[in-house]
Structure 1
Amino acid sequence: MEAPKYRSLKDHVYDYIAQKIQDGTLLPNQKINEAEICKKLDISRTPTREALFQLASDNLLQYIPRRGFIVTPFDAGKKLEFSQAIGALEALAATLAAEHLKPSELLEMEALVARMDEDITQLDLAAYSKNQYQFHNLYIQRCGNATVIEMLNTLKNSFIRQSYVSDNKARLSSVLNEVNEEHRQILSAFRAKDKPQLEALLKHHWRIIDNDML
């Protein structure tokens, strides 16, 4: 069995801030309060600063001299580039994971699809985002390629955090239903271990997210 990856204090701070950006707690152009983070996590300033500079290197934050770190605004013009990159990497992860997913993991993915149906009906975007992340993360973590996993984490932290911003609730529900239908097709392809189908589905899947309503 593979030993769990060691997580440094810097990693914990990185994950904490990235999650706050992802779930909308930290908004674009918002200043990061370093002292508050140190107090909240009971961590010294050094690993906190290391995490902040790493987040800036990964384009989640910007460093402004004499002002500090702010959350990077998402460049809508790069949506297509991000979705293409995520789609290609997820297609690779899926084909690598196809032979390794356990029946229990496939059942968990099925349950997540059902939960997302409920999330869409209630337009609970926070729950939908969490369940969608878990659905994709199940097979990503089984792909056996640490570089692909790391690249996907960085890209998604920058891209998905500002995806669901439509005021047109009916249109938003329609798009999310289309996305979840593809989740069902992805699951079917995993069960059939159909790697060409998985590759085609995942490359298209993230193009749906590249939508003016999202």
Structure 2
Amino acid sequence: MQAPKYQSLKDHVYDYIAQKIQDGTLLPNQKINEAEICRKLDISRTPTREALFQLTSDNLLDYLPRRGFTVKAFDPKKKLDYSRIIGSLDALAATLAAEHLDESDLAKMEKLILKMDQDIEEHNFSDYHRDQYQFHEIYIYKCQNEILIETLNSLKNSFIRQSYLSEDRQRLMMVLKEVNKEHRAILDLFRTKNVEKLDCALKYHWRIIDTEML
């Protein structure tokens, strides 16, 4: 597995591990096998260690000397705290982006909503995670505020990873259908450029994810 040319080796390792955490391949409190990652990515130990320490700094991992790195687990209070902050910042990004989204952006968002419907029906929760992330990224990256974009990306990396690990798949399927209805409502508000309702909708959207799924 070769690193993309536009990424540093450290960033390549970071993204690889972060994705494994987010899609549930690596679970809370699970130890990170550095040698396996180096072998899998065909990368030396130095950029791997740099990525692991960066992941620790970004609250995805815990590090204990002589014991290594483990996937960080959050308690319910911390999850709630994260969801409230993300909801407010995501809503801000949406209201800033409303005037800058064009028809192609809206079409991409609609396509992702349809894809998420399919993901839910097929119980493909890893793809759902990826698709919902892309849905929100479309407007976040149009908000024209780099600090806000960077802050949201960091917070979401620390938080979203544990959202789809429920063992009750039927319950999870039902909840995700409700969440995707929220995506449709958000898209409609972008189309009408109703920023006041958009602000409320995004904050409510993140509250649903926290109270119903985590």
TM score, norm. by length of structure 1: 0.89
Identity score, percent = 67
Distance 2:82 2:64 in 1: 25
User: 1:187: which partner in 2?
Assistant: 187
Distance 2:87 2:99 in 1: 20
1:33-112 to 2 correspondences below 5 Å = 33-112=33-112
SS in 2 for 1:56: helix
The alpha-carbon distance between structure 1 residues 188 and 69, as it changes in their structure 2 partners (threshold 3 A), is: same
Structure 1 portions without partners, runs of 5+:
1-5
- Residue 125 of structure 1 deviates from its aligned partner by 1.4
User: 1:3: which partner in 2?
Assistant: none
- Residue 114 of structure 1 deviates from its aligned partner by 1.4
Moved more, 29-38 or 92-101: 29-38
The alpha-carbon distance between structure 1 residues 165 and 36, as it changes in their structure 2 partners (threshold 3 A), is: closer
- Tell me, yes or no, if the aligned pair for 2:83 and 2:206 is still in contact at 8 Å: yes
The alpha-carbon distance between structure 1 residues 212 and 110, as it changes in their structure 2 partners (threshold 3 A), is: closer
User: 2:23: which partner in 1?
Assistant: 23
User: 2:128: which partner in 1?
Assistant: 128
Distance 2:207 2:140 in 1: 18
Is 1:143 the counterpart of 2:143 in the alignment? Answer: yes
TM score, norm. by length of structure 2: 0.89
User: 1:163: which partner in 2?
Assistant: 163
Instruction: Kindly provide the amino acid, as one letter, of the partner of residue 150 in structure 2.
Output: E
Distance 1:66 1:73 in 2: 20
- CA root-mean-square deviation: 1.8
SS in 2 for 1:142: coil
- Residue 213 of structure 1 deviates from its aligned partner by 4.2
User: 2:12: which partner in 1?
Assistant: 12
Distance 1:45 1:111 in 2: 40
Listed one character per residue, the Cα deviations across residues 150-182 of structure 1 (whole Å, up to 9, x for unaligned) are 222222222211112334444323321221111
Distance 2:47 2:18 in 1: 15
Instruction: Kindly provide the amino acid, as one letter, of the partner of residue 95 in structure 2.
Output: T
- Tell me, yes or no, if the aligned pair for 1:171 and 1:213 is still in contact at 8 Å: no
Distance 1:178 1:9 in 2: 39
- Tell me, yes or no, if the aligned pair for 2:189 and 2:197 is still in contact at 8 Å: yes
Distance 2:187 2:212 in 1: 27
Distance 2:193 2:54 in 1: 37
